[in-house]
Amino acid sequence: MKQRKIYVIIVTYNGMKWIDNCLSSLLNSTEKGIPIIIDNCSIDGTVDYVREHFPEVIIIQNKENVGFGHANNQGIEYAYNNGGTHFFLLNQDAYVYPDTITEMADIQDKYGIALVSPIHLNGKGDVIDQQFFEYSVVSEHNREMVSDFLLDNTKEYYYVGFVNAAAWMMTRNCVEKIGGFDPIFFIYGEDSNYCQRIQYHKERLGVVPKALIRHDREIHGNVKSYNKRAVLSLLLKTYANINEPFIKITKNRIAFHFWMLKNSIVYLCKLKFRDWWYIIAGYGTYISMIPKVIKSRKKNIQVACNYLDLERENING
């Protein structure tokens, strides 16, 4: 069996608050990954701090903020072209436990799962992360996972339709078949789109209960305000989804647009012009991007290392 070579890809942007804990947790891992930092033009000294305190870390510095997806693609390209077998995308505000990397890589090697995630805890590690619980447990109607946890009958992994990209481990085959993040997403939604593409290409996405991370972020409940990028992301996630025809009237799509219309009217009536404008601007930007969305859909149905510049001699087949 080929010896595995795991790269840990961390996109940073003004990450001084977390980066020491993040990298220190990797150093304490029982299986050492090779850390790569792709910095999106931080101005808080993140890069200088890493160079001084973690000289073994590979650093790629961008001259501007190229976004989460593009920066991760840069890291994946470097890792792949240098012989990586597993690619662990880790948020700058996330910390691993000693066995996290080993548990995930072992499950992938044993079962051939394209992408796996650990269980996400909060920053203190004393309760499950709110958004992980909402999106990967509750919204997935993952009755089996919850039941097994309560009955102390936990399986090695559970399939899910979505898990956020705070801690993804991808296989080499996943990179070759699905590719990287779609550049039509600058921030928000690129992970949902990638999960949709995994589903379309009949690959699997799993959660590994024995693998844990602490995700050190604050969640402030149900935030009802919008910004342009969030609205645009919702539209792109809906219409760039290659599991559904681009032009199709569905109950979910109708409900989504009525929901957005209702919110825009409410904001207008309450004189919340900024929130109202975010919705209008989000729709306007989406309409201007429709040709790009159509092109994206045509590309993503192909089995290819899309959006990545990989050295051809390294690609299987």
The domain locations on the chain are 6-221+305-311, 228-300
Mean of pLDDT values over 111-128:
97
**How confident is the model at residue 137, as a pLDDT?**
81
Cα separations in angstroms, 204 against 15, 44, 158, 215, 257: 31, 38, 10, 23, 30
Confidence of residue 140 (pLDDT cuts 50, 70, 90): low
Decide: 117 and 167 in contact? Cβ < 8 Å: yes
DSSP class of 57:
S
Residue 52, pLDDT > 60, answer yes
Distances (CA, A) of 222 to 134, 137, 165, 180, 267: 11, 17, 20, 30, 16
Distances (CA, A) of 75 to 62, 65, 89, 92, 290: 12, 14, 9, 14, 28
Output the pLDDT for position 228: 78
Q: What is the pLDDT of residue 215?
A: 98
**pLDDT for 223:** 43
What is the overall mean pLDDT for the chain?
A: 93
Write out pLDDT tens, residues 27-46: 999 999 999 999 999 999 99
CA-to-CA distance for 72 and 183, rounded, in angstroms?
A: 11
Question: What pLDDT sits at residue 311?
Answer: 82
pLDDT at position 312 is 63
Average pLDDT rounded to a whole number, residues 242-248: 94
Predicted local distance difference test score (pLDDT) of residue 249: 87
Res. 226: pLDDT tops 70: no
pLDDT given at position 264: 94
Which pLDDT belongs to residue 40?
98
Between CA 140 and CA 159 the distance in angstroms is 10
Q: At what angle do helices 251-269 and 273-300 cross, to 10 degrees?
A: 160
Which pLDDT score, from 0 to 100, does residue 260 have?
93
Residue 48 has pLDDT above 70, yes or no: yes
Instruction: Give the model confidence (pLDDT) of 207-225 as tens digits.
Output: 999 999 999 997 644 444 4
Q: Which of 7, 297, 3, 1 is nearest to 175 (CA)?
A: 7
The proportion of the chain whose per-residue pLDDT surpasses 90, expressed as a percent, equals 85
Has residue 2 got a pLDDT over 80?
A: no
Least confident piece of the model among 6-20, 81-95, 142-156, 294-308: 142-156
Q: What is the mean pLDDT of residues 82-109?
A: 98
Q: What is the pLDDT of residue 56?
A: 97
CATH of domain 6-221+305-311: 3.90.550.10
Q: Strand pairing of 205-215 and 115-121?
A: parallel
What pLDDT score does 313 carry?
A: 60
User: Can you say whether the dihedral through the CA atoms of 299, 300, 304, 309 is positive or negative?
Assistant: positive
Query: Could you report the per-residue pLDDT of 252-296, keeping only the tens digit for each?
Result: 899 999 999 999 999 999 999 999 999 999 999 999 999 999 999
Q: What is the mean pLDDT of residues 119-124?
A: 97
Contact 38, 11 (CB under 8 A): yes
181: helix, coil or strand?
coil
CB atoms within 10 A of CB 14: 17
Average pLDDT over residues 118-137: 93
State the sign of the Cα–Cα–Cα–Cα dihedral 166, 171, 174, 180. Answer: positive
